[in-house]
Structure 1
Amino acid sequence: MSERLGHKETAVLLVLMTLARPVSNPELKDIVGYPLDGKERRRLNELGLVDSALAPKRFFVHELTDSGWKWAADELAAGTPPPPAARSTFVPAFYLFMGAVDRYLRRENVSLGEVFTSDVELTPEQIEQRVRAGYLKLVRAPGGWVSLVDLRAALGAVNRADVDSVLKEMSRTQQANLVPESNRKALTDRHHEAAIRVGGEDNHLISIEAS
């Protein structure tokens, strides 16, 4: 990257790295005091560091891309200076500390992804938010169908039973539609494993209504 990112962009990327999951603008505002919007969002999207999707409630949900994870690893490397306009004296100390962490990870051959992982105990509301964010990231057209295989992968390490409970409730309240795959020959072991049983049959696809 030809130039350093600003302190606001850097802070958002480090939050996304630490939480290791999709994060909404309201949640970002609670954590760092501001959302990822406007020119900062466009820049991080254009650089390929962050994927942003517009949630049904009209706020953005953001997640690090593979390039974003690489940026984070490079950013925390020993000797990296703090970003421009970092006003707090805490920031240089943080970068010095993370440089030491980087040296340890390199010595032990451990990746950032192994250190920063998603939390697994979530409320139903938090799980639904993740389901909606994951669906928006995967769907190609409004109201389109997404494979449960892909959706579950997008959710990360979340308890399977808790996810199934939320999906069934969304189906019951008609916020989501769950249907079987019509082409049974296209189903693999992964599709069968990811399926959810509703109405006496296994369902492999989901469509979520905008709220």
Structure 2
Amino acid sequence: MTDRLGHKQTAAMFALLALGREVSNNELKEFAGFALTGAERTELNRREYVQSNTEKAPHRHKLTERGREWCLEELSHGRPPAPKPRTVLAAPLYAVLGEFARYLKQQNVSLDEVFGSAEPLTEEEIERRIRENYRKLVRSPDGWVGLADLRPLIGAPAEEVDVVLKKLSRAGKAHLVPEPNRKALTEKARQAAFRLGGEDNHLVRIEAL
């Protein structure tokens, strides 16, 4: 799971996610009730979650792709971060966010599709995300991972992911196969399938670089 942040940093991350663009501290203060400054800003910059333009006031901030990935992981925690005290609203809100995160994964919907993406992903970035998340999910060397589990973590439209998967397959860098036990296929797995070679493929294995 992702590293936890303090309440104010977490609020800043979700505010930038919701706004979906570069915003000034003035805009952030109007939207969220505070500006992103000092050690809290520099820590988010250091972690490469937020990119800040501090050349002139008011400073401007934008969530990075790594920051968007953090937000998706944070949604799945189901409870607010330390430190205490927490607001009365925090715990119920996180319970709702947890259900929202589970729904996104079940429906193979990325945060980019809900909030929009600040910048379109290149094929190189999509491949990087495929490899990175494959390594997170695979349970044994050269193991198979379900596309239904992999797709929601990539944060790109299905058709763009399919283009990269097809190129990797043709280059012998990825192997796609159908689920051998068709009776075990869930609706989620069927929707995430990648049609290649005249059949639906549900599992993928990525060759190491």
Under a length normalisation based on structure 1, what TM-score does the superposition of the two structures give?
Answer: 0.51
Q: For 2:173 and 2:183, how far apart are their aligned partners in 1?
A: 29
Q: For 2:176 and 2:119, how far apart are their aligned partners in 1?
A: 24
Q: For 1:142 and 1:203, how far apart are their aligned partners in 2?
A: 20
Counterpart for residue 180 of structure 1? 178
Identical columns (%): 44
Change (3 A) 1:10 1:161: closer
Q: For 1:22 and 1:143, how far apart are their aligned partners in 2?
A: 29
The one of 182, 191, 194 aligned to 1:193: 191
- Higher RCO (CA < 8 A, seq sep 6+): 1
Q: For 2:121 and 2:180, how far apart are their aligned partners in 1?
A: 33
Q: For 1:206 and 1:196, how far apart are their aligned partners in 2?
A: 10
The Cα shift of 1:70 comes to 4.5
Q: For 1:22 and 1:210, how far apart are their aligned partners in 2?
A: 26
Q: What residue identity is the alignment partner of 2:64?
A: L
| 3-state SS of paired residue (2:63) | helix
Q: Which runs of 5+ in 1 are unaligned?
A: 24-49, 51-62, 78-105
Q: For 2:119 and 2:49, how far apart are their aligned partners in 1?
A: 20
Q: Which runs of 5+ in 2 are unaligned?
A: 7-38, 52-61, 87-92, 101-110
Q: For 1:195 and 1:22, how far apart are their aligned partners in 2?
A: 28
| Length, aligned pairs only | 140
Instruction: Map Cα deviations across residues 80-102 of structure 1 (whole Å, 9 max, x no partner).
Output: xxxxxxxxxxxxxxxxxxxxxxx
| 3-state SS of paired residue (1:122) | coil
Counterpart for residue 64 of structure 2? 19
Instruction: Map Cα deviations across residues 93-120 of structure 1 (whole Å, 9 max, x no partner).
Output: xxxxxxxxxxxxx9xxx99x89976546
Q: For 2:67 and 2:138, how far apart are their aligned partners in 1?
A: 15
The Cα shift of 1:210 comes to 0.4
Under a length normalisation based on structure 2, what TM-score does the superposition of the two structures give?
Answer: 0.52
